[in-house]
Structure 1
């Protein structure tokens, strides 16, 4: 195993392995009973598997949990033009290489968008999707404009290094709170700080943003047929909390089953702030669908 960033601090590194699929070398963590239903966890932009460090062990009591680093993030190799479709196809290739078919796909933020594309394109056939603070609709302000902004940064080869350097000059807890509305644990913040100091990681995050297309994600909503659980922190400063309400309405309008839960007092990293509450809602949802025994 080779760690391209400082791997000593990776939570649950005993779960880690490197797998080459679709021409891309992935870092992926796998845990939970071999015979349990497979739950795929997809992190958001700028994060890694560490984002699920507290939630995954709770879910692994019931599921076979698979958690990859997205392309260009953490310890997974970068890819050219990492837009929604290429990223979804890369993850589908990884699942094929691992020989698993997820019963549930869970995504946080941009990871929720990847989950929708995976299902809408028929690359996986999950029994359900769970979206945590899902970035699933275009929204006003920087959120709508960020692909263009990120592209301008991405084409300058020095920008990832400059961005990494500037994070060292600011208080990471304050920076994270302003960005996300969340107050994550000291351990989580320390890991984000290490990641943001890596120009390779920040470059991967900028590349993903630069090639993202929220219109593709929005159009995928009409092709989702499986039940969807949408959990969203009411203090989210990254993705407007109303996004999940609107997506739930659209899904039900297309005949799909959708349940929306607002998470009071939590921000964009709600699953990091309240992993127990999220695990309860996710396992209850799985039991209602028959994915887990009642």
Structure 2
């Protein structure tokens, strides 16, 4: 399995998910270009980064893989599957970018106005990195106290780097404008031949959960998993519940034509996950 993190994140975002999946799968999570320990590449589009990830897979001798992407990583995962359908066995899209115009207005402001240029400058202020990470947690999860402390530590390190923040703003501006999300991938979804699981937190305020439904309707072999009382940081705040939906999906040998609805018990709410 190849796991792709979102805008501004690192491979550490997947640590808890990797622990859950590792007994059954070989799981690999790279730092995408410009983040963590990976340097930037000339292009920042999902297609350009998808090329990078396939080259990374070649270097590791990975011929075929299931690909799971979160947020911007979801858009990259779609591009990977379209580029090399013969090498992509399954696709998991977690709160994926590029599946509809609607996006949090804050991201539109940062992407379409000079205010986005202020973000890298916050890295130089005494409490700037902490403020950036706190804002991400508040917008990313309806219960930010559930986000593990190591994530805050790692993200503070990332938010202390002007270069990382500049790269994140450049990438954001390529994908978000005053109109909302650009480079939409909805029209490409019918071309996916792999089984696809679309997973979303029901309380995502960054990308609306309605985009999950719209995506599944366009897929040939689409499945939907909604996780109650979780937000955009689903892989970080509720990794066990995400894996509970992903594991049986990955166990299937081939595509299923019907669009089914799965329900899993929610341990902390008593509600159902669809």
Distance in 2 (alpha carbons) for counterparts of 1:113 and 1:41: 12
Residue equivalent to 1:226: 194
Distance in 2 (alpha carbons) for counterparts of 1:261 and 1:194: 32
Q: Indicate yes or no: 2:8 matched with 1:40.
A: no
Q: SS at the partner of 2:29?
A: strand
Residue equivalent to 2:214: 246
What is the CA deviation profile of residues 57-98 of structure 1, one whole-angstrom value per residue up to 9, with x for unaligned ones?
Answer: 111111111111111111111122311221111111111122
| Shift in Å, 1:139 | 2.2
Contact 2:4–2:74 (8 Å) recurs in 1:
yes
Structure 1 spans left out of the alignment, 5+ residues: 1-38
Worse-superposed segment, 225-234 or 209-218: 209-218
Residue equivalent to 1:289: 253
| Shift in Å, 1:216 | 4.7
Residue equivalent to 1:57: 19
TM-score when normalising by structure 2: 0.80
Q: CA RMSD in A?
A: 2.6
Give the counterpart of 1:179 among 139, 150, 155: 139
Contact 2:100–2:184 (8 Å) recurs in 1:
no
Worse-superposed segment, 65-74 or 123-132: 123-132
Aligned length: 245
Distance in 1 (alpha carbons) for counterparts of 2:64 and 2:153: 31
TM-score when normalising by structure 1: 0.75
Q: Indicate yes or no: 2:45 matched with 1:80.
A: no
Distance in 1 (alpha carbons) for counterparts of 2:101 and 2:70: 17
Residue equivalent to 1:203: 166
Structure 2 spans left out of the alignment, 5+ residues: 176-180, 256-274
Contact 2:34–2:164 (8 Å) recurs in 1:
yes
Q: Indicate yes or no: 2:216 matched with 1:261.
A: no
Worse-superposed segment, 239-248 or 276-285: 276-285
Worse-superposed segment, 179-188 or 237-246: 179-188
